[in-house]
Structure 1
Amino acid sequence: MTRDEDTAAQALARNMHRIRTEGLDAATDAGIRLLQDPKAPAQAKSATINAMFRASGLFGKQEDEEELEPHEMTSAQLDRAIKKQEEKLRAAAAGKDVDGLFD
Structure 2
Amino acid sequence: MAFVESHIFSHNADEVIAALILSHSYRVEAHGYSRGIRLCSSDSVRIDILFSHFQFIHCQVHSISYRSSTLVYFVYASSNSSKMKHLWNYISYLGAHIH
TM range (shorter): under 0.3
Indicate the structure with greater helix content. 1
TM-score by length of structure 1 reads 0.26
TM-score by length of structure 2 reads 0.27
